[in-house]
Amino acid sequence: MTTAGTVLVLAGRFDPTADLVVEELNRRSVPVFRTDLADFPQRLALAARFEGTEWGGTLRTERRTLELRSVRSVYYRRPARPRFPDAMSPDARAVAEREARRGFGGLLTALPVRWLPPPGRAADAEYKPLQLRVAAESGLTVPRTLITNDPDAAREFGDALGGPLVFKPFTPVRGTAGGESVATYTSVVGVEDLSHPDVATTAHLFQEWVPKAYEVRLTAVGGRLFATEIHVDSAAGHVDWRSDYAGHSYRVCEPPAAVAAGVRRTMDTLGLPYGAFDFVVTPDGEWCFLEVNPGGQFGFVEQATGLPITAAVADWLEGKGT
């Protein structure tokens, strides 16, 4: 089977967010070729030639073939890493993985099509220090923040704030302990905690605590914004709503005009067509930027509110959005 005008979906096998987008594209009769980078090289064959000014060739599985010139867009949704034969030595595996990233991955990025999100720009945008600077330059309110591995500097920062502050990991920290899944979320820390020797072991991000009435997940797709209030009824969820999904309630809202403009400027500066923004809204109604995830989930918001985020993503991948 050969497809034309195809959306190439690079996602894990079990990804409900990618499933929503694929189902919507199927409903619209838009051709989709879904695979995972983990399929390469054992279940996915690549053959590409550079002729004239562009790359042509195929991606092929046991059942389907994709003509690279037929790709209209790529939906890059947290694919896994390439998976190599178990018999490969660790050294050979390391070399093969580098070659796959530069060869297969490089070929995909060379396709002259739109990406959601563009891998290079998305990788840059995941740096929280960059996010905070760009958001502030774009007119969004950003909490006072310290990055340090110096316990004395951390203590001085806490003393200067004169109030509660939080610790945030730079990347999601998940694993298992005692056979159970565990994760590190945002946590409130006291000034007395900032002198702990563990602060010196790596970079830590400390931020002033922003009083909150509720939080907002604002999903931006192109120039379209979908905002939802997130209300929680637990102490843990009040600090970080991701720690207690069961205690949420949701309400569709409209961002203030200045916030909407700041979000769009942030997206433009970071070069992103998609972003899942998190805000704290204070009791006085001020929206305070926390972070933006260039590949964040949206299914739970859409399921709770009915906001047409999947349709907006599909529009963009079809070429209907800017």
Query: What does the pLDDT look like over 256-294, one tens digit per residue?
Result: 999 999 999 999 999 999 999 999 999 999 999 999 999
Handedness of CA 153, 189, 130, 82 (dihedral sign): positive
pLDDT digits (tens, 9 = 90+) for 26-42: 999 999 999 999 999 99
**List of residues 6+ apart from 38 with CB closer than 8 A:** 12, 79, 80, 81, 82, 83
Residue 193 pLDDT > 90: no
- Using the 8-state DSSP alphabet, how is residue 137 labeled? H
- Give per-residue pLDDT as tens, 134-192: 999 999 999 999 999 999 999 999 999 888 888 888 886 655 555 655 456 677 888 88
Q: Which residues pair with 289 in a beta bridge?
A: 279
Q: What is the pTM of this model?
A: 0.89
- The residue with tokens 């946590």 is 187
Q: Is the peptide bond before 117 cis (omega within 30 degrees of 0)?
A: yes
Residue type, 110: A
Q: DSSP character for 114?
A: E
Residue 187: strand, helix, or coil: strand
286 vs 1, which has greater pLDDT?
286
And the tokens for 314? Answer: 């599909």
- Return all residues near 180 (Cβ < 8 A) that are at least 6 apart: none
Check whether 62 has a pLDDT greater than 50. Answer: yes
| Those residues with Cβ within 8 angstroms of residue 154's Cβ, 6 or more apart along the chain or in another chain | 146, 148, 194, 195, 199, 204, 206
Supply the DSSP symbol for 101: I
Closest CA to 40 of 89, 122, 100, 91: 100
Torsion angles phi and psi, residue 197, rounded to 5: -60, -25
Domains located in the chain, CATH noted: 6-116 (3.40.50), 123-141+211-318 (3.30.470.20), 145-208 (3.30.1490)
